[in-house]
Amino acid sequence: MGSGDRPHNTRPRRHGSSITERRLAGVRGRPASIQAVTPSVEARLGRAAKGFRAAHVLIAVIDLMGLGYVWTCALTRRRDSLLRFSAATLVVEGAALVIGRGNCPLGPLQRRLGDPVPLFEVVLPPRAARAAVPILAVTSVVGLALLAVRRPPDTDTS
């Protein structure tokens, strides 16, 4: 086959260069052997930080459920008191993000309590976590706009 019995269009593989091998080597660039010895951030969180994280997760779940309900009502043209509550929670969350300049205003309190990991980074990779807020903000604005445009049909038959 020629020089080194390798096709001309392939390069020799370097050790540890595949994505799988890098993932097996460790998260965030730390070797797996260090990770096994170092306790995770969650294991080191104090009681206040764990309680705050649980409350923060609850707020996030309520916001996501509210977003889903806003979209459901926008598409089905349904209107009720739960919709008003859901829309209000999205508006309050949006105002909080404006106050926090795009970051959750609970972040500084979370760090003060000893939890350095932003909430979205607990469940998402860092790049996806950074993209989550803008994506959810646009999704919320579009859902609320659809509510305004897609009003319930008139049922007045007089």
User: Do 61 and 102 lie in a common domain?
Assistant: yes
List, as one string, the DSSP characters of 38-81: SPPHHHH--HHHHHHHHHHHHHHHHHHHHHHHHHHHHHHT---H
pLDDT given for residue 87 in this prediction: 95
Say if 116 falls within a structural domain: yes
What residues make up the domain containing 35? Answer: 15-43
User: Do 29 and 56 lie in a common domain?
Assistant: no
- Tell me the pLDDT of the chain averaged across its residues: 79
User: Do 77 and 97 lie in a common domain?
Assistant: yes
If one compares 132 and 2, the residue with the highest pLDDT of the two is 132
Nearest of 110, 130, 107 to residue 45 by alpha carbon: 110
Say if 128 falls within a structural domain: yes
User: Do 71 and 90 lie in a common domain?
Assistant: yes
Q: Given a cut of 80, is residue 117 above it in pLDDT?
A: yes
User: Do 61 and 124 lie in a common domain?
Assistant: yes
**pLDDT tens-digit readout, 30-49:** 444 334 433 465 668 889 99
User: Do 34 and 84 lie in a common domain?
Assistant: no
User: Do 39 and 85 lie in a common domain?
Assistant: no
